[in-house]
């Protein structure tokens, strides 16, 4: 799972520049804020929604962001932005803090390519339950997900090569069973009408006030409308920000900052008008991460089968059996590895109140196989300090 420091400052700027994404959020904020409004901005990044909330008249804004560099940049910007003294900057996770008051508006754009990204759904639902006043406004309110059979040769080529074909004559085909059980980001350019082989079907919805996901274990069926090669499914979400405000991330529109998803089939299949695609799309959480499954069947006009696939991101996990044993509930570890011994030494020294330089000097002596110089040890200790203290 990616860390909360994945984004560069340039990436935050890219989100702000994406007017088709940012514009509707700004419109929704403007419609929601009153002169006495209190706002919680989850995942504020470099603070754009917080600054705008103040501009729209919010009385107070709590801007929460786990990324320290983003908060630092936001505070630097705040010095020159009127009314920014109304913002309280909080580095951390909204799920781990208590605010001094309930808020009127919760805004948070925590999406990835799909809504199932890090703690997006859980964070918004927790904010609605613990931080939002009764009758308060959630932005966004919900996401509606869609899927459509796709002729996507470029995306498919990115999955297929170099595993099934490469320029070096090396047979890497055993790896294909892993990569074809992963979904990825579709190409940036909008899909043409010919690439969408049927009409989109609604997969389900994510409701942020409750954290509920509806119909996301759902059979879908499409009738192919034109002859082509079927490579997989385009999947995307449309955002509902309330009061008729929203945006679409459909594949035939210019790409939003999130991108849209491509779920490849194990093999490309030739189809004609009247063929049918049956798929069951499922997503659920397993040990803190999302697992996707797309079980698909393609039939000819007369009902005879053409292809059948059962794919899942769980199958893409190249898991060492010994690692599985270490995660078993009955496993009793008897010793720490090198990383564990280093972590134990650093954290114990920190609880004793020792200086970072003193801890680093000790590490360099006790673990010379890892730290060639005291500077290398100090860099490691500093990482622990930033994360745990």
Residues 6+ apart with CB under 8 A from 115: 121, 143, 145, 206, 237
Residue 218 and residue 204: Cα distance in Å, rounded? 8
Centre a 10 Å sphere on the Cβ of residue 261 and count the other Cβ atoms it contains: 24
Helix axes 9-17, 68-78, angle to 10 degrees: 60
Which residue in 156, 154, 202 sits closest to 183, CA to CA? 156
Residue 50 and residue 68: Cα distance in Å, rounded? 16
What is the per-residue pLDDT across 92-151, written as a single tens digit (0 to 9) for each? Answer: 999 999 999 999 999 999 999 999 988 899 999 999 999 999 999 999 999 999 999 999
Say which residue the tokens 């002859």 belong to: 227
What is the per-residue pLDDT across 39-69, written as a single tens digit (0 to 9) for each? Answer: 999 999 999 999 999 999 999 999 999 999 9
Residue 347 and residue 78: Cα distance in Å, rounded? 35
In this predicted structure, the answer to whether residue 319 has a pLDDT above a threshold of 80 is no
Helix (H, G, I), strand (E, B) or coil at 62: strand
Q: Are strands 261-271 and 184-185 parallel, antiparallel or unpaired?
A: antiparallel
Give, rounded to a whole angstrom, the gap between the first and last alpha carbons of the chain. 22
pLDDT > 90 in the chain, percent: 86
Which residue in 3, 79, 78 sits closest to 44, CA to CA? 78
Q: What is the pTM of this model?
A: 0.85
| C-beta of residue 120 within 8 angstroms of C-beta of residue 110 | yes
In this predicted structure, the answer to whether residue 269 has a pLDDT above a threshold of 80 is yes
Give the pLDDT band (50/70/90) at residue 323.
low
| C-beta of residue 45 within 8 angstroms of C-beta of residue 15 | yes
Residue 225 and residue 223: Cα distance in Å, rounded? 6
pLDDT for residue 203: 96
What is the per-residue pLDDT across 294-311, written as a single tens digit (0 to 9) for each? Answer: 999 999 999 999 999 999
């Amino acid at each position: 799972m990616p860390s909360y420091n994945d984004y560069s400052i340039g990436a935050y700027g890219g989100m702000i520049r994406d007017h088709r994404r940012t514009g509707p959020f700004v419109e929704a904020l403007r419609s929601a804020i009153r002169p006495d409004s209190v706002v919680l901005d989850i995942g504020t990044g470099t603070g754009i929604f917080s600054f705008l909330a103040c501009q729209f008249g919010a009385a107070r804004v709590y801007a929460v962001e786990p990324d320290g560099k983003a908060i630092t940049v936001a505070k630097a910007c705040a010095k020159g932005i009127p009314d920014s003294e109304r913002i309280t900057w909080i580095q951390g996770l909204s799920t781990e803090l208590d605010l001094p008051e309930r808020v009127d508006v919760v805004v948070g754009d925590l999406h990835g390519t799909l809504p199932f990204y890090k703690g997006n759904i859980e964070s918004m639902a927790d904010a609605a339950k613990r931080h939002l006043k009764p009758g308060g406004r959630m932005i966004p309110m919900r996401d509606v997900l869609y899927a459509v059979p796709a002729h996507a040769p470029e995306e498919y080529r990115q999955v297929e090569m170099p595993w099934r074909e490469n320029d070096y004559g090396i047979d890497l085909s055993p790896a294909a069973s892993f990569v074809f059980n992963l979904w990825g980001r579709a190409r940036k350019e909008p899909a043409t009408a010919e690439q969408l082989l049927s009409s989109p079907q609604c997969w389900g919805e994510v409701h942020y006030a409750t954290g509920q996901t509806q119909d996301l274990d759902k059979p879908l069926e499409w009738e192919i409308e034109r002859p082509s090669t079927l490579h997989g499914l385009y999947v995307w979400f449309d955002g509902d920000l309330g009061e008729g405000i929203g945006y679409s991330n459909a594949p035939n529109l210019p790409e939003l900052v999130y991108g849209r998803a491509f779920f490849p089939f194990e093999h490309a299949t030739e189809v004609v008008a009247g063929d049918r695609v049956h798929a069951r799309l499922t997503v659920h959480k397993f040990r803190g991460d999302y697992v996707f499954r797309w079980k698909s069947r393609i039939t000819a006009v007369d009902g005879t089968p053409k292809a059948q696939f059962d794919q899942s991101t769980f199958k893409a996990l190249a898991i060492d059996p010994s690692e599985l044993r270490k995660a078993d509930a009955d496993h009793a570890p008897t010793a720490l590895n090198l990383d564990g011994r280093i972590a134990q030494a650093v954290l114990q020294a920190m609880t004793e109140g020792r200086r970072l330089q003193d801890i680093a000097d000790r590490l360099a002596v006790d673990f010379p196989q890892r730290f060639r110089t005291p500077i290398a040890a100090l860099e490691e200790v500093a990482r622990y300090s930033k994360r745990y203290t």
